[in-house]
Amino acid sequence: MSESTAVAPRERIVDAITSVLAQVLDYELPALTEQSRLFDELGLDSTGVFELLMQLEEALEVEFDTDNLEMAHFETVRSLADFVAAEMDR
């Protein structure tokens, strides 16, 4: 793996999260920030979490270790981006 692909830029991760959220929730999202709350503001549910993870794995070419998953990772766009970045670094 080249150095440029070893660590995904945060912007790419956040863009992927935003894009996949729009698909999973099936509506155009308002402008999201890293503080946007996935359950409270956007209406993500447990079924959506599963779909979100599967599509993020495909979009970012990563496989998440489900042993590391915690509901806190889905609190905000930032917390999810932090989790994804950590998974991509392992």
Residue type at position 79: S
Confidence of residue 15 (pLDDT cuts 50, 70, 90): very high
pLDDT at 30 over 70: yes
Report the length, in residues, of the chain: 90
- CB burial class (10 A; 0-12, 13-18, 19+) of residue 61? exposed
What is the average pLDDT across 30-54? Answer: 93
**Could you give the maximum distance between any two Cα atoms of the chain, in Å?**
38
Q: Are 55 and 20 in contact (CB under 8 A)?
A: yes
Domains of the chain: total: 1
**What is the average pLDDT score of the chain?**
90
Which stretch of DSSP H or E encloses residue 59? helix 46-60
Domain that holds residue 37: 3-89
Domain containing 61 — which CATH number?
1.10.1200.10
